[in-house]
Amino acid sequence: MAFGEELNERSATAKQRALRVVARTVLKELRRSGYSRAEMVTFTTELLDLVSAEMRTDDGETS
C-alpha cells in the first residue's frame, strides 16, 4: 500500500468517526430539547430527503 492510499484510508476513517460524533450529538440535542422518537424519525427522514435531493442535483437531475 502506498503512503497516499494509507493516508486516504485514515482520512476516510477519521471522517466516519467525525460523522458518527455529529450524529450522536444531534440525537443527544434532540432528546435534550424534548423531541419524541417520532419527531426524531421525522427529522431523520427530512435529512435523508435533503441528501437525496442534493445527490440528484449533483447527478444532473432536476428535483
pTM check: above 0.85:
no
> What are the tens digits of pLDDT across the range 36-47?
999 999 999 999
More confidently predicted of 24 and 9 = 24
Q: Please spell the DSSP secondary structure of 7-61, one letter per residue.
A: HHHHHHHHHHHHHHHHHHHHHHHHHHTT--HHHHHHHHHHHHHHHHHHHHHHTT-
More confidently predicted of 9 and 27 = 27
**What value does the mean pLDDT take over residues 33-62?**
92
Sketch the domain layout of the chain as residue ranges. Answer: 1-32, 36-63
Residue 63 pLDDT: 44
